[in-house]
Structure formats: structure tokens, C-alpha cells
Amino acid sequence: MPPAAGPRIGTKRPVGVQPLRRTRVAPAPSSLGRRAVHFLLLFVTLVLVADALVGEKGLLESMRARRQYREVAAALESMRRENSRLREHVRRLRDDPGAIESLAREQLGLIRPGEVLFIIKDAKRDR
């Protein structure tokens, strides 16, 4: 029977085979160095979080920009409705003679020939 290729448990090591050597591991950093690294990481994290909240493109600035956008969009929609209303009013004044007559009666107090105008005033009651 041929000899085994590797060492066996409980047997002697074959001649000429070197034991495995362990490589040296660098010693762990000192607790002061470890604390400094933790402090540095904490500081960098705090700076990044603060920048994300209040920076130029931070959360607070984004929220302010969204609010301003909603306000401007609402104002734009209101102006578009007003513009549409005024266009319709102009169209009626150009095309509808009844609209012109109604406006003349309301704003200028004009009447047609043959009509009688009654002006009613509220009188204060004395008690």
C-alpha cells in the first residue's frame, strides 16, 4: 500500500514536509486611534446629514421650492380663468347687442325712449 499524501492525525509528519507557517497579522489599532476614526466618521456623517437638510439643494430648500411652485401654479390657473372670463365678456360685447344694452342700463343708467324710470331710495326710520 502506498503512503498517504498528507499528514494524518495521530501519525508522525513525513520527513521533508515543512509545517504551515502563520503570517503575522498587523496589530489592532490602539483604542485612541479607533476612537479618532469613530469620531471622524461621526463628524462626516453629521456634516452630510446637515447638508442634506439645509444645504443648497437640501430637504428644506426642496420643500420651499415645491410650496412656491404650487403657489405659482395656482396663481397661473386663476389668471387663466380670469383671462377666459374676460375673453367671453369681450366676445359678448362685440357680438350681442343685448349685452351692450344691458351694460348701458346698469352702468350709465340709460333708458329706452318711452320708458319711465323709477328711483327708489331707502328712507331711514326715526323711532
Task: Tell me if residue 114 falls in helix, strand or coil.
Answer: coil
Q: Of 38-47, 59-68, 102-111, where does mean pLDDT reach its minimum?
A: 102-111
Rounded distance between C-alpha atoms, residue 17 and residue 28, angstroms: 33
Assess contact for 98 and 106: CB atoms under 8 A.
no
pTM confidence score: 0.47
pLDDT in tens, 76-109: 999 999 999 999 999 999 999 999 888 888 888 8
Confidence (pLDDT) at 5: 58
Confidence (pLDDT) at 82: 98
Residues 6+ apart with CB under 8 A from 37: 29
pLDDT in tens, 66-77: 999 999 999 999
Rounded distance between C-alpha atoms, residue 44 and residue 50, angstroms: 10
